[in-house]
A and B are shown apart, each in its own frame.
Chain A
């Protein structure tokens, strides 16, 4: 079998049986990157020296007959807002173009310990603000399925790199759909775990009450393996939780009750997206799952509520980019006299359009006189949205919806009007508001542009999501 088709388990087996070495696997992926990077622009920086050292260590372990972790020797890449000690971490912003991470994020530390091989840092919308990858300061990433189209965002490079066989899996991040939506656009699998189930230590903050590190890979089993490796409580993130709910081993699809929220099949959803998702629902029905229509009446406010909370938190989190704590030397050389002048000129020059827009909106909704009307109201609506899900999960196991209302759109199409860009998150942002896990898996036909099927579960119910996703992948041919 070709190396690019190997799953994590198959790579592990092959390494153990000495069918190939970690070096063979790594050199294949390096070649893939060298071949495709010019066209796709998925990476902001590569770390092949580090990767070669890591692969060599794995090969030595194999030669010595040592135990091999399932992820050992598997080449992967990391979104550029997650820190890897000694590697650049730009978050897609020119503000951090010279920045080097001084420590490992907890997820990176956990993966390193398991022998992961790190290929490099992935392109993204600036500070994870965007749904198309077009807001990166390092050029747009192209969708490997159709180069005229966006790969989705903000984990644009992560989704594109996995889809273009430039790595086996990738770490992304999510605030309102930034892992699931690009996975949907690129035809791969993307998981947004339960809030807190994966430590955020070492992930650059966008909106702290919504942010979560996500996993992207070609199939749900690979995503599950990576999630299992990175999840769990971390002293360095006080919002982290133990996510240890494992469902019954005897998985039986006929015992699964799936809710279809009527509010999600609205106008504005592309007919082929609707059709593909309905066919998937039909597949589950035929397989014996119980399908029930449910109502999440407050989901119509989700995107608006998300916009307020996310921008408010972002405006405060991004205050740290002030050319003191983080900055760049070229700018310092200008020799501006006052501190105030330095702050505001640096930030004006450094932040791109979308970042400025969100900082401005966030500052506005938090400013005197507007707090109650916007921020406080949005926090109350967040309660309503959480209650909707709580009520729904009393009766059902999982919720199925489209991941995004459309397939990947063409470059430039949504740059003029920010609201049309934000609509790409309309089906995903609710899960971030409620903290619940969600996955996007491909459900399109071979000759179609990719379409994502979203499966959401109750808090800490990732296991149930994986079971159903794997069942779909295995049986829906």
Chain B
């Protein structure tokens, strides 16, 4: 069983501001999914290497060449961004006074 503290801890890590009822529902859902994945415990994985890439590619390189970005792309990127100031994209400050 996932405890209330655990749910709150995970929500904090995931940056989700959950209400009480959402916490309760998610705890229930997570319990039922974790219950289902329990069966993974039966598998014998001794001496088995983990797979991180299913077809086994390693170290794919390309030359580091600068390509010019077309003006339409630049314009849309800027339009998509929520706040801009002149030529800059603007974001909230990470370190505030008093933090």
Given A356-B26, A379-B50, A300-B39 contact (CB < 8 Å): yes
In the assembled complex, B53 has its CB within 8 A of some CB on chain A:
yes
Contacts of A377 in B (CB 8 A): 40-41, 43, 45
Residue from B36, B38, B72, B82 in contact with A86 in the complex, judged by beta carbons closer than 8 Å: B72
- Check: B1 CB closer than 8 A to any chain A CB: no
Interface string of A335-367 (1 = CB under 8 A from B): 000111111110110010000110111011001
Residue with the greatest number of chain A CB neighbours at <10 A, chosen from B30, B37, B62, B94: B37
B40 engages A304 (CB within 8 Å):
yes
Question: Does A247 sit at the interface, judged by CB under 8 A?
Answer: no
Report, as a range, how many residues of chain B touch the other chain. Answer: 35 or more
- Given A99-B80, A360-B26, A434 and B33 touching (CB < 8 A)? no
* A422 partner residues in chain B, CB cutoff 8 A: 33, 36
Stretch at the interface among A130-138, A184-192, A234-242, A288-296: A234-242
- Least CB distance from A226 to B in Å reads 22
Q: How distant is A217 from chain B, measured CB to nearest CB, in Å?
A: 26
- The distance from the CB of B32 to the nearest CB of chain A, in whole angstroms, is 6
B residues 53-83 in Cβ contact with A at 8 Å: 53-55, 57, 60, 62, 72-74, 76-77, 79-80, 82-83
A-side contacts of B72, CB under 8 Å: 85-86, 102
Bound state CA distance, A332 and B84, in angstroms? 13
Is A348's CB under 8 angstroms from B16's CB?
yes
**A344 and B15 contact, CB distance less than 8 A:** yes
Q: Tell me whether A7 is interfacial, beta carbon within 8 Å.
A: no
Closest to A233 in B: B60
A61 CA to B17 CA in the complex, in Å? 55
Chain A residues within 8 Å of B50, by CB: 376, 379-380, 382-383
| Given A356-B22, A359-B16, A379-B51; 18 other pairs, CB 8 A cutoff | A100-B79, A100-B80, A195-B54, A195-B55, A301-B40, A303-B36, A305-B40, A324-B91, A332-B82, A339-B93, A339-B94, A344-B16, A360-B7, A367-B10, A382-B54, A384-B48, A418-B32, A434-B54
Give the most central of A305, A348, A433: most B CB within 10 Å: A348
Count A interface residues, CB 8 Å.
71
Q: Is B37 within 8 A of A194, CB to CB?
A: no
| Partner of B17 from A85, A86, A344, A374 at Cβ < 8 Å | A344
Q: Tell me the minimal C-beta distance from B59 to chain A in angstroms.
A: 9
Q: How many Å lie between the Cα of A327 and that of B83 in the bound state?
A: 10
**A382 and B51 in contact (CB under 8 A), knowing A241-B57, A360-B11?**
yes
**8 Å CB contacts to A: which residues of B1-36?**
2, 6-7, 9-18, 22, 26, 29-30, 32-34, 36
Residue A15 interfacial (CB < 8 Å) = no
Within 8 Å of chain A (Cβ to Cβ): is B85? no
Residue of A nearest to B75 (CB): A102
Q: Is A308 an interface residue (CB 8 A)?
A: yes
Residues of A within 8 A of B13 (CB): 363, 367
The 9 closest A-B pairs by CB, nearest first: A379-B50, A435-B54, A102-B76, A344-B17, A380-B45, A304-B37, A238-B60, A348-B17, A363-B14
